[in-house]
């Protein structure tokens, strides 16, 4: 019954967000408007009968995506499942519209965002687990583009995911670089961004290092990576009043690492760009 209620809540929250957007919101999600942010959900500490509802972007390989068999898979989804098993929780993997994540977590429709989720710059918006994975933001171009450095992107079109860490970097620390581009475009997911890059509709994609590694491993002769834009860390994000469960997830991840499970999962996804060398929790 709890799973069914959670699923209904996800649908309701998404519909509410869509209604808010249709009545005049633009330029991104405002989690304080028509999302329940003025009446935040109360999340109690986890217990043995908890169902952990994990919100994730299903187009974000290798962290969360649709596998060849049609089921959801990915490094972070496997981690979440392993944590839930260790804690005696059930796990519900809930694919979400990335733009709707704040409305969904504020309403309690999902318990956490676990999907290559950058914590830097968001510390005041969520209760986070301790960071578990090092990440970088990078630029990827076609191998045959003739583009060798970031300076060569002057007057070129760069694409990234809407509300992404890469976009934050291009609008923040790397704003001067972005000002040399012809345009920074956003899109809903990175799979489509790389389709645009492959077709020549855009000249570069700004994305997470792991996303770049995944795309380059799948198409080793198609792309090349330019300079690093920034370094950051992934963590699991909960509603601000749910630090207790975030701390339980941290403890479970440390135990899984000590047991060797984390290294095994990194090896499982090694051909998709995941490396245990980038695991930082407990090191």
168 & 253 share domain: no
pLDDT of residue 66: 94
* In the predicted structure, residue 174 carries a pLDDT above the cut 80: yes
108 within domain boundaries: yes
* Least confident among 36-40, 191-195, 222-226: 36-40
CATH number, domain of 205, equals 3.40.190.10
- The average pLDDT across 179-190 equals 96
For the chain, the C-alpha Rg in angstroms (whole number) is 19
Q: What distances in angstroms separate CA 130 from CA 134, 136, 249, one per listed residue?
A: 12, 17, 9
Residues 202 and 251 in one domain: no
Is there a single domain that holds both residue 198 and residue 67?
A: no
Q: Are residues 107 and 242 in the same domain?
A: yes
Do 249 and 127 share a domain, yes or no?
yes
pLDDT band at residue 260 using 50, 70 and 90 as cut-offs: very high
pLDDT of residue 113: 98
Claim to verify: residue 25 and residue 104 sit in the same structural domain:
yes
Mean pLDDT across the stretch 12-41? Answer: 36
Lowest mean per-residue pLDDT among 14-23, 108-117, 141-150: 14-23
Same domain, 196 and 121: no
Domain count, the chain: 2
What is the percentage of the chain residues whose pLDDT exceeds 90?
A: 72
**Is residue 22 pLDDT above 60, yes or no?**
no
pTM of model > 0.75: no
Residue 178 confidence (pLDDT) above 80: yes
pLDDT exceeds cutoff 70 at 185: yes
Compute the average pLDDT of residues 90-101. 94
Whether residue 62 is preceded by a cis peptide bond, meaning omega within 30 degrees of 0, is yes
Mean pLDDT, rounded, for 85-109: 95
Residue recorded with tokens 């959900």:
41
**Choice between 121 and 37, residue whose per-residue pLDDT is larger:** 121
Does residue 283 surpass a pLDDT of 60? yes
Q: Mean pLDDT throughout 142-153?
A: 96
- The whole-number average pLDDT for the span 229-238 is 95
Query: What would the mean pLDDT of 106-120 be, rounded to a whole number?
Result: 95
Residue 176 pLDDT: 97
The answer to whether position 283 is within a domain reads no
| Alpha helices per DSSP H over the chain | 2-22, 75-87, 101-107, 165-171, 175-178, 190-199, 209-218, 243-259, 261-268
Domain ranges, residue 19? 2-132+235-278
Task: Please check whether residues 95 and 198 belong to one and the same domain.
Answer: no
pLDDT score at 141: 98
The residue among 163, 185, 172 whose CA lies nearest residue 117 is 163
- Is 124 in the same domain as 154? no
Least confident of 13-22, 31-40, 152-161, 174-183: 31-40
> Are 61 and 183 in the same domain?
no
pLDDT bin (cut points 50, 70, 90) of residue 49 is: low
pLDDT reported for residue 210: 84
Together in a domain, 110 and 183: no
86 domain residue, yes or no: yes
Q: In sequence order, which residues have a C-beta less than 8 Å from that of residue 128 and are 6 or more positions away?
A: 119, 122, 235, 236, 237, 238, 246
Average of pLDDT values for 211-226? Answer: 91
């Amino acid at each position: 019954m709890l799973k069914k209620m959670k699923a209904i809540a996800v649908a309701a929250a998404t519909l509410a967000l869509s209604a808010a957007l249709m009545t005049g919101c633009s330029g991104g999600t405002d989690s304080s408007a028509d999302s329940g942010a003025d009446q935040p959900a109360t999340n109690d500490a986890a217990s043995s009968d908890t169902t952990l509802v994990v919100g994730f972007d299903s187009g974000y390989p290798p962290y969360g995506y649709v596998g060849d068999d049609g089921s959801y898979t990915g490094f972070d989804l496997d981690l979440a499942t392993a944590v839930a098993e260790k804690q005696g929780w059930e796990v519900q993997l809930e694919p979400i519209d990335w733009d709707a994540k704040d409305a969904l977590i504020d309403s309690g429709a999902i318990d956490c965002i676990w999907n290559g989720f950058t914590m830097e710059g968001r510390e005041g918006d969520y209760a986070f687990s301790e960071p578990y994975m090092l990440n970088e933001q990078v630029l990827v171009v076609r191998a045959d583009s003739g583009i060798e450095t970031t300076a060569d992107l002057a007057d070129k079109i760069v694409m990234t995911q809407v509300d992404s860490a890469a976009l934050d970097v291009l609008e923040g620390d790397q704003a001067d670089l972005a000002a040399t581009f012809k345009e920074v475009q956003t899109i809903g997911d990175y799979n489509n961004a790389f389709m645009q890059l492959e077709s020549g509709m855009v000249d570069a994609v700004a994305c997470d290092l792991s996303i770049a590694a995944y795309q380059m491993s799948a198409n080793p002769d198609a792309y090349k990576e330019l300079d690093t834009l920034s370094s950051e860390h992934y963590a699991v994000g909960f509603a601000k009043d749910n630090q207790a469960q975030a701390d339980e997830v941290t403890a479970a991840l440390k135990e899984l690492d000590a047991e060797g499970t984390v290294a095994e999962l990194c090896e499982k996804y090694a051909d998709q760009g995941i490396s245990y060398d980038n695991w930082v929790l407990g090191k």
